[in-house]
Amino acid sequence: MTQMLRLENVTTAYGAVEALKGVSVHVDPGEIVTLIGANGAGKSTLLMTIFGSPRARTGRVVFEGRDITGMPMHEIARAGIAQSPEGRRIFPRMSVRENLLMGAQSFGVDPAPGLEQAFTLFPRLKEREAQRGGTLSGGEQQMLAIARALMSKPRLLLLDEPSLGLAPLVVRQIFTAIRTLNRETGLTVLLVEQNANQALRLAHRGYVLVNGRITMGDTGAALLARPEVRDAYLGTH
Amino acid sequence: MAYALQQLINGVALGMIYGLIAVGYTMVYGIIGMINFAHGDIFMVGAFISLISFVLIAMGGWTAGPGAILLVLLVSMAVTALYGWSVERVAYRPLRGSFRLAPLISAIGMSIVLQNYVQVAQGARVKPIESLVTGSVELWHGNGFAVSISTMQAMIIVVTLLVLAIFTWLVTRTSLGRAMRACEQDRKMAGLLGIDTDRTISITFVIGAALASVAGTMYLLRYGVIDFYIGFLAGVKAFTAAVLGGIGSLPGAVLGGLLIGLIETFWSAYFSVQYKDVATFAILVITLIFMPTGLLGRAEVEKV
Question: Is the residue at B298 inside a domain?
Answer: no
Mutate to test the interface with A, among B192, B201, B250 (most CBs of A within 10 A): B192
Question: Is the residue at B262 inside a domain?
Answer: no
Question: Is the residue at B263 inside a domain?
Answer: no
- List CB contacts of B53: < 8 A, sequence separation 6 or more: B71, B72, B75, B76
Question: Is the residue at B190 inside a domain?
Answer: yes
Please tell me the total number of residues recorded for chain A in this structure. Answer: 237
Check CB contact under 8 Å for A85 and B192.
Answer: yes
Instruction: Spell B47-66 as b/e; 16+ CB within 10 A means b.
Output: bbbbbbbbeebeeeeeebee
CB-based contact, B249 to chain A, within 8 Å: no
Tell me what pLDDT residue B156 has: 93
Question: Is the residue at B269 inside a domain?
Answer: no
Report which DSSP code applies to A80: T
Question: Is the residue at B65 inside a domain?
Answer: yes
Would you say the pTM of this structure is higher than 0.95?
no
Q: What is the pLDDT of residues A84-136, one digit of tens each?
A: 999 999 999 999 999 999 999 999 999 999 999 999 989 999 999 999 999 99
Instruction: Measure the CA–CA gap between A212 and A22, rounded to whole angstroms.
Output: 8
Tell me what pLDDT residue A235 has: 63
- How many of the other CB atoms lie within 10 Å of CB of A11? 16
- Domains (ranges, CATH) in chain A? 1-80+156-237 (3.40.50.300), 90-154 (no CATH)
**Chain A residues in contact with chain B using a Cβ-Cβ cutoff of 8 Å:** 51, 53, 72-74, 77-78, 82-83, 85, 87, 89, 91-94, 98, 101-103, 105-107, 134-138, 141, 148, 152
Tell me what pLDDT residue A237 has: 47
Tell me what pLDDT residue A1 has: 56
Check CB contact under 8 Å for A94 and B178.
Answer: yes
How do A58-63 and A188-193 pair as beta strands?
A: unpaired
Q: Can you tell me the mean pLDDT for A148-172?
A: 92
Q: Which domain holds residue B15?
A: 2-231
Check CB contact under 8 Å for B193 and A106.
Answer: yes
Highest mean pLDDT range out of A15-19, A192-196, B65-69, B116-120?
A: B116-120
Per-residue pLDDT of chain B (304 residues; tens, 9 = 90+): 788 899 999 999 999 999 999 999 999 999 988 999 999 999 999 999 999 999 998 888 876 688 899 999 999 999 999 999 999 999 999 998 889 899 999 999 999 999 999 999 999 899 998 888 888 888 877 777 888 899 999 999 999 999 999 999 999 999 999 999 999 999 999 999 999 999 999 999 999 999 999 999 999 999 999 999 999 999 999 999 999 999 989 999 999 999 999 999 999 999 988 998 898 889 889 988 998 888 888 765 444 3
- Work out the mean pLDDT of chain A and round it to a whole number: 93
Question: Is the residue at B38 inside a domain?
Answer: yes
Tell me what pLDDT residue B302 has: 43
Q: What is the pLDDT of residues A198-224, one digit of tens each?
A: 999 999 999 999 999 999 999 999 999
Question: Is the residue at B252 inside a domain?
Answer: no
Nearest chain A residue to B185 by CA: give it.
Answer: A91
- Nearest-CA distance from A115 to chain B in Å? 16
Closest CB from A73, A98, A141 relative to B192: A73
Tell me what pLDDT residue B304 has: 39
Query: Does the pLDDT of residue A167 top 90, yes or no?
Result: no
Instruction: Measure the CA–CA gap between A32 and A188, rounded to whole angstroms.
Output: 6
Tell me what pLDDT residue B139 has: 80
Structural domain total, chain B: 1
**ipTM for the complex?**
0.94
Check CB contact under 8 Å for A106 and B182.
Answer: no
Q: Which residues of A touch B182 (CB under 8 A)?
A: 91, 94, 102
CB-based contact, B190 to chain A, within 8 Å: yes
Tell me what pLDDT residue A194 has: 86
Mutate to test the interface with A, among B181, B193, B198, B300 (most CBs of A within 10 A): B193
> What would you measure as the largest C-alpha separation in chain B, in angstroms?
66
Closest CB from A89, A101, A107 relative to B194: A107
Tell me what pLDDT residue B299 has: 65
